[in-house]
A = this chain, B = another copy of it.
Amino acid sequence: MIVNVGDRVRITHGPHAYEGILMPLEGALKETYVSLKLDNGYNVGFSRDDVSIELLSEGRSFNATMPEVDIPYNEDLPDVAILGTGGTVASKIDYMTGAVYPAFSPEELLQLVPELAKIANIEGKEILSIVSEDITFSDWKGIGREVVRQYERGCDGIVVTHGTDTLHFTSSMLSFMLHNLPHPLVLVGAQRSSDRPSSDAALNLISAVNFAGTDCREITVCMHADMNDDYCYVHRGTRVRKFHTSRRDAFTTINGRPLAKVPGSGPIEYLSAYRRGSNPKEDLSLDTGLEERVALVKTYPTASDIVAHLVDKGYRGIILEGSGLGHTPHTLHEEIRRGVEEGVVFGMTSQCVHGRVNMNVYRDGRILKEMGVIPLGDMLAETAWCKLSWVLGHASDYEDVRSEMLRDVAGELDPVSRIDAYNVCR
């Protein structure tokens, strides 16, 4: 049976049958795979050899060409570069098939989100194409280098689109790698792809581009603020965390307030103090010295074996995500003690997520602190992991590493706890 892209089909795979619209695939994939857009909006892919396909109804013929868009350069608007790393936020849709493509030419971006033309002159570039859980140290260095190139080229702000799984790792890592930003660097993602009616892609992207035109000199994350489609929050890159698997307002500032509220292209409302001003372009520096042998270990009752193994494998730093104020079960104490003796640096954060470690209160905390475990205050575990990689990239003496870990570099460490930073409504 001949079926075409856009047709409604039934695909039978073993005992299961799936109905939906046949989607286009690019390049070599289309020889071996078929892809189906289900009625619930999700896509499913199958190996061609494993399925039988039945035509249910013919679709309209598929037209992949886009109408042309005229984009006059507007001297009054900032020049913003949009760098794609593989998230779903900057993607274009064929509304007949529901297929999602990355969209990175200025024409494509403006077809996708025409409102961008009102707030910035847009340049787009796809620099990576990964699912974000697979991001590596080499990817972070590549993003950093491209950011420097774009600033040197003369743009007034940069937006990086990114998958949401590890968006906060990337915003943290870049916060330690890039110093003296001349202009804003805003990371943005989308929890739901642009082909779903509830997509957050457009508002997030417009808000991010809007914020990229400000005088903020920090690395930030811009995402939906609540369940409505009204505005986004801009979060400090070292203070933010993905805190829900699927909601559009999944990203939350922990132990602090967001920096700003951005209603798409509307006026920005600042909520917290932020680093601003104009750094001369020549002061910008990129620091790619990262230690890759760093681990993150969340403890649990009776936990053992893991730390000893990482020490044996030659890891140089381990961030512990301990319980409460910064404790581990005693079953880990000897492993940690041996690690410290062998020169491994341990930092303590809390799996409570909110609050700060205090290793002076209880005996277990004092024991670990006396061993040499560094209490990392109110730093997030994910941020601490990034920071330890960066610090160990430059220092090896324990006291040097310790003092760097306890120095606030990018807003990751605050000696004062804010009373309004844990307002969970139940």
A-side residues, CB < 8 A to B, are 42, 44-45, 131-137, 164-166, 169, 225, 227, 233, 242-247, 249-250, 252-253, 257-258, 292, 295-303, 305-306, 309-310, 313, 321-330, 350-358, 360-364, 366, 382, 385, 419, 422-426
Contact B327 A247 (CB under 8 A): no
With A131-B327, A310-B306, A323-B133: A352-B250 Cβ-Cβ less than 8 Å: yes
Q: Which of B258, B300, B356, B364 is within 8 Å of A385, CB to CB?
A: B300
Residue of B nearest to A351 (CB): B242
With A244-B352, A252-B424, A358-B245: A300-B382 Cβ-Cβ less than 8 Å: yes
Which residues of B sit under 8 angstroms from A360, Cβ to Cβ? 42, 44
Which residues of B sit under 8 angstroms from A136, Cβ to Cβ? 301-302
With A424-B425, A425-B424, A426-B258: A305-B300 Cβ-Cβ less than 8 Å: no
Can you offer 5 A-B residue contacts whose CB atoms are under 8 A?
Answer: A45-B363, A131-B363, A247-B422, A295-B300, A423-B424
With A136-B301, A305-B310, A306-B306: A323-B358 Cβ-Cβ less than 8 Å: no
Contact B426 A352 (CB under 8 A): no
Which residues of B sit under 8 angstroms from A225, Cβ to Cβ? 426
Contact B135 A301 (CB under 8 A): yes
Q: Which of B169, B324, B425 is within 8 Å of A423, CB to CB?
A: B425
Chain B nearest CB from A242 CB (Å) reads 5
Chain B nearest CB from A325 CB (Å) reads 5
Interface of A is mostly: loop
Chain B nearest CB from A326 CB (Å) reads 8
Q: Which of B131, B135, B298, B327 is within 8 Å of A296, CB to CB?
A: B298
Contact A354 B245 (CB under 8 A): yes
Q: Which 5 A-B pairs have the closest CB atoms?
A: A245-B355, A165-B324, A165-B323, A298-B298, A244-B354
CA A164 – CA B306 in complex, angstroms?
Answer: 24
Contact A325 B426 (CB under 8 A): no
Contact A301 B169 (CB under 8 A): yes
With contacts A135-B329, A245-B352, A246-B356 known, what are 5 further pairs, Cβ within 8 A?
Answer: A131-B362, A133-B328, A244-B354, A245-B325, A424-B425
In the complex, the count of this chain's copies comes to 2
Chain B nearest CB from A167 CB (Å) reads 10
CA A321 – CA B358 in complex, angstroms?
Answer: 25
Contact B300 A309 (CB under 8 A): no
Chain B nearest CB from A149 CB (Å) reads 23
CA A278 – CA B303 in complex, angstroms?
Answer: 38
Which residues of B sit under 8 angstroms from A169, Cβ to Cβ? 300-301
CA A175 – CA B293 in complex, angstroms?
Answer: 39
CA A98 – CA B257 in complex, angstroms?
Answer: 37
Which residues of B sit under 8 angstroms from A356, Cβ to Cβ? 245-246
Residue of B nearest to A327 (CB): B133
Which residues of B sit under 8 angstroms from A164, Cβ to Cβ? 324
Contact A426 B253 (CB under 8 A): yes
Which residues of B sit under 8 angstroms from A310, Cβ to Cβ? 305-306
Q: Which of B42, B247, B309, B385 is within 8 Å of A305, CB to CB?
A: B309
CA A249 – CA B299 in complex, angstroms?
Answer: 22
CA A360 – CA B295 in complex, angstroms?
Answer: 28
Which residues of B sit under 8 angstroms from A385, Cβ to Cβ? 300
With A131-B362, A169-B301: A246-B296 Cβ-Cβ less than 8 Å: no
Which residues of B sit under 8 angstroms from A424, Cβ to Cβ? 243, 249, 252, 423-425
Which residues of B sit under 8 angstroms from A297, Cβ to Cβ? 298, 306
